Chains A and B, each alone.
Chain A
Amino acid sequence: MDQERLYELESMCIQECPPGCTAGCPVHVDVRGIVTAVRKGDYPAGFAILRKTVPFPGIISRICTEPCKNSCKRNELDESIEVRQLERSCSDKCGSAEQKILLPPLKSQKIAVIGAGLSGLTVAADMAGKGFPVAIFEAGNGIGGSILEFSEEILPRGLMESDFSIFDKLPVEIKLNAAAGKDELSLELISNEYDAVYIGTGYESRTAADSWFSGTPEKRLVIDSGTLLTNIPKVFAGGSLRTGESRTAVDSISDGKIAANSINRFLQNASLTASRGKEGSYNSILYTDISGVKTSPAVKAYETGRGYSEDEARREAERCILCQCLECVKKCEYLANYKAYPKKYVREVYNNLSIVMGIHHANRMINSCALCGLCKELCPNSLDMGEVCIDARRLMVDRGKMPPSTHDFPLRDMAFSNSESFLLSKHQPGMNSSSIVFFPGCQLGATYPSYVKKIYEFLCEKTEGGIGLMLGCCGAPAFWGGQQKLFEDTISGFSERLKSLGNPSVVTACPSCSYMLKLGIPDLKIESLWSYLDRTGLPEISRNGSGRKLAVHDSCVSRYDKDLHESVRSIIRKSGFEVEELPGNREKTTCCGYGGLMIYADREVARRVIGRRINESESDYISYCSMCRDNFASQGKRSYHILDLIFSETDDSSATMKMPGLSQRQESRARLKTSLLRELWGEEVKDELPEVKLTIPERVQSIMEDRMILASDISKVVAYAENTGNRFKNTLTGNYIAYFQPQRVTYWVEYSPDGDSFLIHNTYSHRLEITD
């Protein structure tokens, strides 16, 4: 990921875009902030937010025309939030409080403001607040300009005075009855004396203002709408002089702020145009789902012309949706776990990859994503955190920065499945060619070895041209672990074995295998077992689901496999069950907690992923991936594998069967291979005798599961200790303690001889190597 790609990805996540109201407000008041404050009854906080953006909060909260309301999301539902009323609640309660101003040291450059309307006053307040002395030239005998036309009832004068009292604390000199434009107040003289000039004399003065420019080539006033610079150097202009009679208070304040930004840049010799950000009113691209939001009419103040009571204000604030996106975060436990959203995460991943020296804080985050693609499906801009994470993992692997412990177990498990213990590729017994080859995958062979045999026997009976069998692992752990080279090698190993069978088309029984093989061999002829069986017929045994409902879980890797979705549902119906759809399914399905090897990088997050999924329906679940089924069952959810239906084994024991332990999974695979060779191909296979015979109590078995230690690891330690004599003895218990480091991990075992076997009391491991 280079910096350009980072920016591209960051910009795809629009969670930080302002809500419609804030973007529609010409000065971008943080309406969500004010609403949140009002909800809590924290009016000072709300008022502080308003005043941060609007220099005259009392005035605005009475006379703003509320352009923000046009782009309030609630308009799609009922009606907009009463933004100005909420602002007024804050201002009425807190406006008279003393305002503390911290002035920076006074600057030497001076500014002249011509016209004391709202735009000019905004320029004055803004620039004076930055330490520039400001002189205001006003032709009339008071400040405020056109807002003085509002009645006392609508805009109480006391409120105005209180807003304008800010000038008492700022380096601002207000010159009343000082009509600029001629004699000693000619524009020329003023601009000679001041470093920058702002003209905000109102639309009625347009002709007069034009006359000041008669000496210029255009002969009249021209204002650049982006910077508000005029065609006279260092002279800026705005307000209704620019916008015309349709002026509104908030537009004038907006112009004042734009002009102040330009003047500040101008005085510092900075570019007037570079990276100004958004100014004035615009349309936000923030996406917010409002499907669950209930309608409720806007709260009207109990008496027209009065402000809200606290209760009314709170009720109106409650109507606000507090627009934000978080579509992905709402549905993904992994994204929710880190308490932010992809825009932030992408940067964390990028930073993590850029660290040369120091701690890689985001390793776990990068490694716990399920790579399931749900976020991409939900995101209005299709941002895929899975893609970000897998790219990062590959880079980490390439640079030797992948923590070895994270994926060590699944990678060794994969190596086992692709070793002679499990690997097999054969034509159907008695045949020497194959039109199809069945590839059940390593996980199905680990959980359901007997189904693999049964379904293969069934396929042999009905398939014309012979159906071969291939056992092995598709390489998913390598792919998910970011081990691209290992994945490619695994795929080419598969291709070679397939070639040795004459390149028949492949039938898979595991959605991850389908996904990986399609990815690795794009032109592979491949079909899922489920669509094959749905098409060609199920085994003819009586099945009777009696219309019982089963909630189908689509596996995340098969998100876009419509045919598969349909075949599975069809098989469920053919088996006499009713199909129940979970809230997120098909292209919007969620991961079961296994995808992306999430469960190895962060067991707790995976546990929450499983927990969320199994609570989506009371019905028994049905999956077509054995890992999905096993994960659900691991937290006590009754769930079936689709083969349970196909072979009509739908009693309680199938639904509640727990996932076999890690050692047993490997043993099941090895035994599956031997029994198939013996029983279907009539080959003689010697049993591989374990080096030592072990007795492992249940308590120790669960320790082994938790610590991912296999019986075969333990047996290596005991064999080594017994052969070399390198062992300790605990004189209190009489037990032996020994260690052995077959590869990267050092295993410790506490054991005692027990007849012809060894009784295991405890086991643990570590990765730090004992070097002397």
Chain B
Amino acid sequence: MKDNTAQSDMNIICVKCNAVLTIGKVTLAYMGNSFPVDLYKCPQCGLVYIPEDLALGKMNMAEKALEDK
């Protein structure tokens, strides 16, 4: 699951670390399943950012699919 919509010129920063987010490995889990994905996160503290279209689009579809498994 990759966030295609995020622009390369990232304009989201982690306030604590004052760092621009970069793509990194994140593990998402639901109903006993977990899987690695590439998402934007803070290169220093690791705080993960999930944009709206990803949450309501692909992630929502994945949720529904896992719920019906």
Chain A positions within 8 Å of B, measured between CB atoms, are 358-361, 363, 403-406, 725-732, 736-737, 739, 748, 762, 764-772
Contacts and interface: CB of A to CB of B under 8 A. Distances in A.
10 contacts: A359-B65, A728-B15, A728-B21, A728-B47, A730-B11, A732-B11, A736-B15, A766-B55, A768-B59, A771-B29
Given A728-B47, A748-B52, A771 B68 contact: no
B21 to A, nearest CB: 7
B60 to A, nearest CB: 7
Given A404-B31, A404-B67, A768-B28, 10 more contacts: A359-B65, A361-B68, A363-B67, A725-B15, A728-B21, A730-B12, A767-B63, A768-B30, A771-B29, A772-B27
Given A405-B67, A728-B12, A748-B55, A769 B30 contact: yes
Contacts of A360: 68-69
A405 B63 contact: yes
Contacts of A729: 12-13, 15
A261 to B, nearest CB: 44
Contact of B52 (A359, A404, A405, A762): A762
Chain A at the B interface: mostly helix, strand, loop or mixed?
Answer: mixed
B59 A766 contact: yes
Nearest to A728: B12
Nearest to A766: B55
B12 A766 contact: no
A64 to B, nearest CB: 52
Interface string B32-69: 00100000000000111110100110011011110111
B67 A403 contact: yes
Closest 3 CB pairs of A and B: A403-B67, A766-B55, A768-B28
Given A403-B68, A748-B55, A770-B28, A739 B50 contact: yes
B29 A737 contact: no
Contacts of A771: 27-29, 34
B10 to A, nearest CB: 9
Nearest to A403: B67
A99 B2 CA distance: 59
Nearest to B48: A770
B23 interface: no
Contacts of A727: 15-16
Given A404-B31, A728-B21, A766 B69 contact: no
A731 B63 CA distance: 31
A678 B13 CA distance: 48
- Size band of the interface chain B makes with A: 20 to 34
Contacts of A737: 12, 49
Nearest to A707: B56
A705 to B, nearest CB: 15
Contacts of A767: 30, 63
B13 A359 contact: no
B14 to A, nearest CB: 6
A769 B63 CA distance: 10
Given A728-B21, A729-B12, A768 B62 contact: yes
A160 B44 CA distance: 92
B44 to A, nearest CB: 12
A99 B68 CA distance: 49
Nearest to A736: B15
A748 to B, nearest CB: 7
A658 to B, nearest CB: 25
A762 B55 CA distance: 13
A444 to B, nearest CB: 32
Contacts of A739: 50
Contacts of A405: 63-64, 67
Chain B at the A interface: mostly helix, strand, loop or mixed?
Answer: mixed
A1 to B, nearest CB: 19
Interface of B: 11-16, 21, 26-31, 34, 46-50, 52, 55-56, 59-60, 62-65, 67-69
B4 to A, nearest CB: 17
Nearest to B47: A726
Contacts of B55: 748, 764-766
A284 B47 CA distance: 69
Contact of A768 (B12, B63, B68): B63
A359 B68 contact: yes
| Residue among A731, A736, A768, A771 with most chain B CB within 10 A | A768
A459 to B, nearest CB: 45
A320 to B, nearest CB: 42
A7 to B, nearest CB: 26
A766 B60 contact: yes
B56 A728 contact: no
A769 B55 CA distance: 11
Given A748-B55, A764-B52, A764-B56, A728 B14 contact: yes
A635 to B, nearest CB: 25
A47 to B, nearest CB: 45
A218 to B, nearest CB: 64
Contacts of B68: 359-361, 363, 403
B37 to A, nearest CB: 9
B29 A728 contact: no
B26 A770 contact: yes
B63 A766 contact: yes
Contacts of B64: 403, 405
A361 B14 CA distance: 41
A405 B62 CA distance: 12
A762 to B, nearest CB: 7
A772 B29 CA distance: 10
Nearest to B39: A770
A359 B15 CA distance: 42
A363 B64 CA distance: 11
A748 B63 contact: no
Contacts of A768: 28-30, 59, 62-63
Nearest to B45: A726
B28 A728 contact: no
A631 B14 CA distance: 43
B69 A359 contact: yes
A404 B68 CA distance: 10
| Residue among A359, A406, A772 with most chain B CB within 10 A | A772
Nearest to A772: B27
A739 B60 CA distance: 17
A729 B48 CA distance: 13
A430 to B, nearest CB: 52
A564 B34 CA distance: 52
A676 B34 CA distance: 48
Given A725-B15, A728-B12, A736-B15, A772 B52 contact: no
A318 to B, nearest CB: 44
A359 B64 CA distance: 11
Contacts of B47: 726, 728
B41 to A, nearest CB: 9
Contacts of B69: 358-360
Nearest to B62: A768
A405 B30 CA distance: 11
A207 to B, nearest CB: 71
A768 B28 CA distance: 6
Given A403-B67, A771-B27, A772-B27, A766 B50 contact: yes
Contacts of A762: 52
A621 B63 CA distance: 39
Nearest to A364: B68
A682 to B, nearest CB: 48
Nearest to B16: A725
Contacts of B30: 767-769
Contacts of B56: 764, 766
